[in-house]
Amino acid sequence: MNKFFVTTPLYYVNDVPHVGHAYTTITADVIARYWRQKLGKKNVFFLTGTDEHGSNVAQAAEKAGKSPKEYADEIAPRFAEAWKLLNIDYDFFIRTTDPRHEKIAREVLQKIYDNGWIYEGLYEGFYCVGCEKFITEADIIDKKCPLHPTRKLIYQKEKNYFFKLSRFAPEILSEIKSGEYEILPEARKNEVIGRLEQGVQDISISRAGVAWGISVPWNKSQTIYVWVEALFNYYTATQFLVGKKNFWPADLHLIGKDILWFHAVIWPALLLAAKLPLPKQLFAHGFFTIDGQKMSKSLGNVISPKQLVDKYGLDGTRYLLLSAYQFGSDGDLSLPKFDEKYNADLANGLGNLVARVTKLCDTTNLSLPDKELTISSPVAQRIEEYRFNDALGVIWAVIAEANRSFNEDKPWELKGKPLNEVLTKQIIRIGQVATDLQPFLPETSEKILKQFSGKIKSQPPLFPRI
Ligand code: MSP
């Protein structure tokens, strides 16, 4: 593998960023940083951005008394700010209102049309604006969308364009089964295979009544269904940015399990219809609750990235989110547990180790040997398998062992050569820990490596106790 292209979902601008968005984006950042170390910066492309069209955004704008574009212009930078706060080093932030995206999205749709995979039909049924999704009778509970019970379903009967999804289902099924398009984790793959085997219907890919969107190239009275056009972003960005063409196909799409079907089935079908190569991997992670409850505005428990950074610091936040539970499963973010874990692992574990070792080094001339360090293989392997909490577990086992042997060696009672030997052992270990931490806690990693190169000196604590 000589290049790596990783994407996050494009987040809706109908809402400001919360910790759910941050979770996916931090993970993508870890992966991008890892591959940059391995392949070099120019061979990695990390794309994120915002999804700005559709009824949901138009309604939110109306509520705020703004035009959709004004509204999107206000919210999109909030995402960019949040990513800055979390030290997310993305290569490009795409907005679906970017005219370059709009142009290529239209071209791709035109190609699918020209290839004969789009036809005119009548759509009749319900639409959930919250999901931005046509919803089937079977999924309706008490006349409501189960995910948006406070919103009214919209009954729609209109002339739309349909995409022959059914025609591509067998091919998608075989791509997924063979692993050519690899869906992770395994349970998600099986879920998709199960649904595909039941058969799929064609889907409506345009809207007559939604003005806030990209117009259908051959019929300006319709707009492209927002989901179709948003999926195109992964491809369009590579085509309009200078020097990024060869990054398509994507190596990894990272998403939450809520948007699995769109990415696992509809997206590759659209690509096949446009005769474009399929992405290689799709990883759908789980959803978390907050202290055991669904995160929701009505419960008032939505956490912003800033709230966490204010309390735990930038790298503290990254650590706590990535180590909370296994990536891919559902989990819970427990704020009391965050405090405990912060103190145990960061303040006492890593922070204390660095503080004790540097304090004794103050009286010596020791420094980290000037040698290029690379991420250790047990950590690298776990990152490549998307087992981030396991990777951190490996690093923290080393930290625990370093603290344990420090107590046993009692270097504070030693002098001269025996002291230097004990400290050198610790310095080398800390150098490796800092290197392994680079994709996860880039700022801390850099601080430690700087502190240990040249004459080692004490510094204020890395993670002050809470
Ligand atoms: N705009 C679409 C995606 C289009 S991609 C071409 C969308 N946007 S969204 O703003 O609703 O973001 C959904 C994503 O946010 C999820 O897939 C997931 O990555 C993240 N999460 C939102 N809430 C979350 C949790 N409670 N837990 C984990 N991730 C969560 O869908």
How many angstroms does the Cα of residue 75 sit away from the middle of ligand 1? Answer: 16
- Are 232 and 101 in contact by the 8 Å Cβ rule? The answer is yes
- Are 81 and 75 in contact by the 8 Å Cβ rule? The answer is no
Report the 10 Å Cβ neighbour count for 63.
10
d(C-alpha 214, C-alpha 197), whole Å: 33
Q: What percentage of the chain exceeds 70 in pLDDT?
A: 100
d(C-alpha 414, C-alpha 408), whole Å: 12
d(C-alpha 25, C-alpha 285), whole Å: 12
Q: What angle do CA 293, 298, 300 make, to 5 degrees?
A: 65
Q: Determine the pLDDT at residue 203.
A: 95
Residue appearing with tokens 């604006």 = 129
d(C-alpha 356, C-alpha 361), whole Å: 9
- Are 215 and 223 in contact by the 8 Å Cβ rule? The answer is yes
- Are 284 and 184 in contact by the 8 Å Cβ rule? The answer is yes
d(C-alpha 324, C-alpha 288), whole Å: 10
Q: Determine the pLDDT at residue 456.
A: 93
d(C-alpha 436, C-alpha 317), whole Å: 18
If you count DSSP H runs as helices and E runs as strands, how many of each does the chain have, helices first?
16, 15
Poorest-pLDDT segment among 71-75, 149-153, 382-386, 446-450: 149-153
State whether the beta carbon of 259 lies less than 6 angstroms from ligand 1.
yes
Instruction: Tell me the pLDDT of the chain averaged across its residues.
Output: 96
| 15 closest CA partner among 65, 45, 59 | 59
Strand runs (DSSP E) across 129-178, as ranges?
133-135, 154-163
State whether the beta carbon of 49 lies less than 6 angstroms from ligand 1.
no
- DSSP three-state, residue 266: helix
pLDDT tier, 89 (very low <50, low <70, confident <90, very high otherwise): very high
d(C-alpha 272, C-alpha 259), whole Å: 20
Does residue 131 carry a catalytic annotation? Answer: yes
Distance from first CA to last CA of the chain, Å, rounded?
Answer: 43
DSSP 258: G
Q: Determine the pLDDT at residue 209.
A: 86
For residues 411-433, give the mean pLDDT.
Answer: 96
d(C-alpha 271, C-alpha 262), whole Å: 12
Higher pLDDT, 147 or 349: 349
For residues 169-198, give the mean pLDDT.
Answer: 98
Choose the catalytic residue: 53, 101, 131, 189. 131
Strand runs (DSSP E) across 311-418, as ranges?
331-333
| 319 closest CA partner among 30, 115, 120, 14 | 30
Determine the atom of ligand 1 nearest the C-alpha atom of 256. Answer: 17
- Are 322 and 30 in contact by the 8 Å Cβ rule? The answer is yes
pLDDT at 156 over 90: no
Residue appearing with tokens 């700010």 = 81
Q: Determine the pLDDT at residue 147.
A: 87
- DSSP three-state, residue 67: coil
pLDDT at 1 over 80: no
Report the 10 Å Cβ neighbour count for 372.
5
How many angstroms does the Cα of residue 343 sit away from the middle of ligand 1? Answer: 30
- DSSP three-state, residue 181: coil
Residue-wise pLDDT for 211-236, tens only, equals 999 999 999 999 999 999 999 999 99
221's tokens = 């009275």
The model carries a pTM of 0.97
What are the beta bridge partners of residue 128? 133
Cis preceding linkage at 378, omega within 30: no
Q: In this structure, are strands 154-163 and 203-204 parallel, antiparallel, or unpaired?
A: antiparallel
d(C-alpha 85, C-alpha 429), whole Å: 29
Q: Determine the pLDDT at residue 138.
A: 85
Choose the catalytic residue: 42, 69, 245, 294. 294
Strand runs (DSSP E) across 229-366, as ranges?
252-256, 281-285, 288-290, 331-333
Q: In this structure, are strands 154-163 and 118-128 parallel, antiparallel, or unpaired?
A: antiparallel
- DSSP three-state, residue 399: helix
d(C-alpha 422, C-alpha 407), whole Å: 11
- DSSP three-state, residue 182: strand
Domains (ranges, CATH) in the chain? 4-286 (3.40.50.620), 334-451 (1.10.730.10)
| 392 closest CA partner among 87, 37, 30 | 30
**Residue with CA nearest ligand 1 atom 12:** 11
pLDDT tier, 363 (very low <50, low <70, confident <90, very high otherwise): confident
Q: Determine the pLDDT at residue 49.
A: 98
How many angstroms does the Cα of residue 308 sit away from the middle of ligand 1? Answer: 19
Does residue 294 carry a catalytic annotation? Answer: yes
pLDDT at 370 over 90: no
- DSSP three-state, residue 296: coil
Q: Determine the pLDDT at residue 137.
A: 84
Q: Determine the pLDDT at residue 296.
A: 87
Query: Which of 57, 234, 259 is the best mutation target for the ligand 1 pocket, counting ligand atoms within 8 Å of the beta carbon and taking the most?
Result: 259
- DSSP three-state, residue 125: strand
State whether the beta carbon of 283 lies less than 6 angstroms from ligand 1.
no
How many angstroms does the Cα of residue 294 sit away from the middle of ligand 1? Answer: 14
What are the backbone angles phi and psi of residue 254, rounded to the nearest 5°?
Answer: -100, 130
Choose the catalytic residue: 53, 101, 133, 145. 145
Does residue 145 carry a catalytic annotation? Answer: yes
269's tokens = 């079908």
Query: Which of 7, 21, 289 is the best mutation target for the ligand 1 pocket, counting ligand atoms within 8 Å of the beta carbon and taking the most?
Result: 21
